[in-house]
């Protein structure tokens, strides 16, 4: 059974499944969901807990052994399996399917894993887990979802804020929910339960937002200039490798060109997007950028990318980040300084 | 059985020159073999190396094939026969490799004849590798001969060049090569093959056996498609990087060279790509010569970049976008 993270609490109150798989790259929600399962299990009498961590030297046989052995301290136990890579491999897949085919009594298997790709979710072992247990995927909230999440979290503490304040908070903690939770704790300690003003938040909350290159690409396609600059600054100060940024940017530039070319050849919007394998949730962004930009601009962006590549590799003088910024701004629709190349 | 390569028909004079080093007993410490790609430099260097390693060469300077050294050479286990190549094709020869070799070369050769080190391609020695090598080149250990092979001698630093005896290989006589190609079983297109390979026989043979002319025609059509705005440069460059980037760069440089020649109304026989004369001639009429030259300049710059760490797809993107833009007006 697939559940959303918000539905977990209610489902746990009803009954306990024999297997839980919680997967995602966002540590706060992942930890909280796993804690909720452990709490509910403890309440139901699962007193003992065995922790198994999957690393390079992990023996998958120990999962079966652990399932078959009885605890000397309690009747019921939790096997807490941690799979940080999100990839159990052939052996792990076999161990999971075998476990699901022959569920041991009075044992609850809790798997916390890194992000699972769609191929793993369709795999045999995931299907087997899905049949007997619960699978929860954790997604980091963004945009309005993040604001709602913050609002809920603050409401739990008796705090509230106006839309403007919440937006400010969201901007400062985006992509870093651990920091978000801490900032809310801090606000609670400072102010107690009350209605917070924008000023309260501004003066207390530091910028701990974190982005990856894909966030940057989305901002670039959406044409949000301020966001582009902030993200580039963030990526740079975090020490993100420039080739990675360039790779992500050129990938999207080429994507836009291929869609433009397909449209030029008479394909419909939907066909062009489908042929280019654009994900459902990115379609709007991609199409918007495609309509905003001319082919000459895209060509220019690609030429600037070659310059950025030379700067990264030291074959040309100057800062690669400057060129990367120019590319983002050109695609983002704010062609400033772009004439320098 | 001996594995010493046969002499190719156009190498007689070069070989005699090398043999005189041995018969005259004035073997240089370093010889640079420079000449176009596919002309047989490696084969000749190998042949020369075998002669140097043999302890009883005959009066023509040829290896005896009987002595212990020759047996080891044939078994490819001669301890005094060292080859230095990049760890991966197309990458640089690193300073660590040189340091490793130097520690071996600081000892005496194991057999009584010469020790030979073949460095190929010498232009792929990176700058620190060259510097680590210089000292040894100047004062090599006894009975040690270095053979450096390159098709881009202009890329070697002067400090390296000045320490070597140079043997330059000129373009072989076309009639002779055509006969040779015929003997190798290439019955048609030999004229064109030779022209496309810039007169290098082995390269021409390689092109013929890999059907390279067909691939070249396909790539040329794509190139014309870009000019006619029927396709986008990036779609073509995506396919081209999967082929042989250095070869493709040579081709498009050749096409642009021929376009420039067409602008000056040179006849078809003066072009590198005679078979493409019609298309090139037609294309040249619409192009602006000065901008054609700037694309040509970019190609030459790109030739120096193609062996570096730069992203090859972006490199072709740039070339092809410039080419497309040249055709826009």
B313 burial (CB, 10 Å; 0-12 / 13-18 / 19+) is: buried
Say if residue B269's pLDDT is above 60. yes
Q: Which two tokens stand for residue B73?
A: 């050479």
Task: Kindly identify which residue of chain B lies nearest to residue A265, measuring between CA atoms.
Answer: B230
Say if residue B19's pLDDT is above 60. yes
Answer whether A257 sits within 8 Å of B310, measured CB to CB: no
pLDDT in tens, B100-159: 989 988 888 888 888 999 998 898 888 889 988 888 888 888 889 999 999 888 889 999
Q: How many angstroms separate the CA atoms of A256 and B72, rounded?
A: 60
Give me the percent of chain A exceeding a pLDDT of 90.
Answer: 24
Residues from chain A contacting residue B237 (CB–CB below 8 Å): none
Chain B residues touching chain A at CB-CB below 8 Å: 231-235, 238, 305, 308-311, 314-315, 317-318, 321-322, 324-325
Amino acid A259: pLDDT: 92
Residues B218 and B84 in one domain: no
Residue A250: which of B308, B310, B314 has the nearest Cβ? B314
CATH number of A2-137: 3.40.50.300
Q: How many angstroms separate the CA atoms of B304 and B299, rounded?
A: 9
Separation of first and last alpha carbons in chain B: 64
Residues B145 and B242 in one domain: no
Which CATH fold topology does A144-204 show? Helicase, Ruva Protein; domain 3 (1.10.8)
Q: Which residues are within 8 A (CB) of A221 and not within 5 positions of it... i.e. 6 or more apart?
A: A252, A282, A285, A286, A288, A289, A331, A332
State how far residue A340 is from chain B, nearest Cα, in angstroms: 17
Residue A50 and residue A78 in contact, taking contact as beta carbons nearer than 8 Å: yes
Residue B259 and residue B280 in contact, taking contact as beta carbons nearer than 8 Å: yes
State how far residue B226 is from chain A, nearest Cα, in angstroms: 12
Q: What CATH number corresponds to the domain at position B323? A: 1.20.272.10
Residue A306: which of B238, B309, B317 has the nearest Cβ? B317
- B248 within domain boundaries: yes
Amino acid B316: pLDDT: 93
Task: Kindly identify which residue of chain A lies nearest to residue B311, measuring between CA atoms.
Answer: A309
Per-residue CA distances from A135 to A9, A118, A149, B66 (Å): 14, 13, 21, 75
Residues from chain A contacting residue B315 (CB–CB below 8 Å): 306
Answer whether A306 sits within 8 Å of B315, measured CB to CB: yes
DSSP code of residue A223: T
- Look at chain B and report how many structural domains it folds into: 2
Instruction: Give the start-to-end residue ranges of the domains of chain A.
Output: 2-137, 144-204, 213-340
B137 burial (CB, 10 Å; 0-12 / 13-18 / 19+) is: middle
pLDDT in tens, A139-181: 888 888 888 888 888 888 888 888 888 888 888 888 888 888 8
Residue B314: which of A258, A295, A305 has the nearest Cβ? A305
Amino acid A72: pLDDT: 66
Residue A312 and residue A320 in contact, taking contact as beta carbons nearer than 8 Å: yes
Pick the CATH number of A213-340 from 3.40.50.970, 1.10.10.410, 3.40.50.300, 1.20.272.10: 1.20.272.10
Q: How many angstroms separate the CA atoms of A35 and B155, rounded?
A: 64
Residues from chain A contacting residue B310 (CB–CB below 8 Å): 309-310, 313, 315
Q: Tally the C-alpha atoms within 13 A of residue A334's C-alpha that lie toward its C-beta.
A: 16
Domain of B262? 211-328
Say if residue A200's pLDDT is above 60. yes
State how far residue A265 is from chain B, nearest Cα, in angstroms: 9
Answer whether A313 sits within 8 Å of B310, measured CB to CB: yes
- B3 within domain boundaries: no
Residues from chain A contacting residue B228 (CB–CB below 8 Å): none
Q: How many angstroms separate the CA atoms of B93 and B155, rounded?
A: 14
Amino acid A335: pLDDT: 66
């Amino acid at each position: 059974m697939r559940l959303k993270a918000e539905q977990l609490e209610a489902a746990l109150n009803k009954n306990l499944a024999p297997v839980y798989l919680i997967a995602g790259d966002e540590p706060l929600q992942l930890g909280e969901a796993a804690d909720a399962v452990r709490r509910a299990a403890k309440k139901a009498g699962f007193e003992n807990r065995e922790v198994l961590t999957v690393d390079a030297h992990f023996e998958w046989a120990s999962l079966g052994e652990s399932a078959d052995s009885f605890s000397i301290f309690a009747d019921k136990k939790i096997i807490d399996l941690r799979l940080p890579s999100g990839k159990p491999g052939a052996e792990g897949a076999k161990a999971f399917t075998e476990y699901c085919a022959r569920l041991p009594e009075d044992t609850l298997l809790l798997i916390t894993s890194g992000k699972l790709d769609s191929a793993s979710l369709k795999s045999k072992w995931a299907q087997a887990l899905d049949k007997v247990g619960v699978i929860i995927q954790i997604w980091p909230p963004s945009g309005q979802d993040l604001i709602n999440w913050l609002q809920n979290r603050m409401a739990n503490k008796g705090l509230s804020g106006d839309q403007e304040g919440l937006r400010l908070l969201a901007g400062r903690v985006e992509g870093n929910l651990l920091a978000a939770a801490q900032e809310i704790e801090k606000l609670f300690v400072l102010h107690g339960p009350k209605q917070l003003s924008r000023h309260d938040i501004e003066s207390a909350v530091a910028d701990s937002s974190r982005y990856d290159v894909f966030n940057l690409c989305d901002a670039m396609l959406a044409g949000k200039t301020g966001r582009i600059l902030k993200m580039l600054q963030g990526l740079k100060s975090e020490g993100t490798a420039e080739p990675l940024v360039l790779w992500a940017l050129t990938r999207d530039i080429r994507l836009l060109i291929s869609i433009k070319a397909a449209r030029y050849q008479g394909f419909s919007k939907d066909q062009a997007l489908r042929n280019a394998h654009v994900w459902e949730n990115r379609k709007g962004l991609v199409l918007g950028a495609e309509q905003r930009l001319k082919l000459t601009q895209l060509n220019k962006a690609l030429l600037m990318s070659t310059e950025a590549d030379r700067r990264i590799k030291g074959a040309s003088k100057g800062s690669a980040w400057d060129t990367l910024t120019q590319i983002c701004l050109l695609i983002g629709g704010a062609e400033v300084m772009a004439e320098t190349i | 059985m001996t594995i010493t390569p046969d002499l190719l028909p156009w190498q007689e004079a070069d070989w005699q020159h090398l043999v005189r080093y041995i018969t005259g007993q004035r073997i240089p410490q370093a010889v640079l073999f420079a000449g176009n790609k596919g002309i047989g430099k490696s084969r000749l260097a190998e042949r020369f190396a075998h002669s140097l390693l043999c302890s009883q060469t005959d009066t023509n300077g040829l290896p005896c094939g009987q002595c212990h050294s020759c047996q080891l050479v044939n078994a490819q286990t001669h301890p005094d026969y060292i080859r230095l190549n990049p760890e991966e094709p197309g990458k640089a020869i690193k300073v660590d490799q040189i340091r490793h070799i130097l520690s071996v070369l600081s000892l005496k050769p194991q057999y009584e004849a010469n020790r030979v080190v073949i460095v190929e391609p010498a232009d792929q020695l990176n700058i620190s590798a060259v510097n680590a090598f210089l000292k040894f080149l100047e004062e090599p250990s006894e009975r040690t001969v270095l053979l450096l092979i390159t098709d881009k001698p202009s890329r070697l630093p002067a400090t390296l060049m000045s320490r070597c005896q140079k043997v330059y290989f000129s373009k072989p006589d076309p009639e002779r090569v055509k006969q040779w190609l015929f003997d190798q079983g290439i019955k048609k297109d030999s004229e064109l093959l030779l022209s496309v390979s810039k007169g290098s026989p082995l390269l021409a043979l390689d092109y013929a056996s890999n059907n390279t002319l067909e691939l070249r025609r396909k790539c040329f059509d794509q190139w014309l498609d870009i000019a006619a705005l029927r396709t986008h440069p990036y779609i073509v460059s995506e396919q081209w990087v999967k082929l042989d980037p250095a070869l493709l760069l040579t081709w498009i440089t050749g096409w642009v060279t021929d376009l420039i020649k067409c602008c000056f109304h040179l006849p078809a026989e003066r072009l590198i790509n005679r078979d493409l004369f019609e298309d090139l001639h037609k294309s040249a009429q619409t192009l602006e010569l000065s901008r054609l030259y700037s694309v040509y300049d970019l190609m030459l710059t790109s030739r120096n970049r193609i062996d570096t760490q730069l992203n090859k797809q972006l490199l072709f993107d740039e070339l092809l976008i410039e080419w497309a833009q040249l055709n826009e007006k």
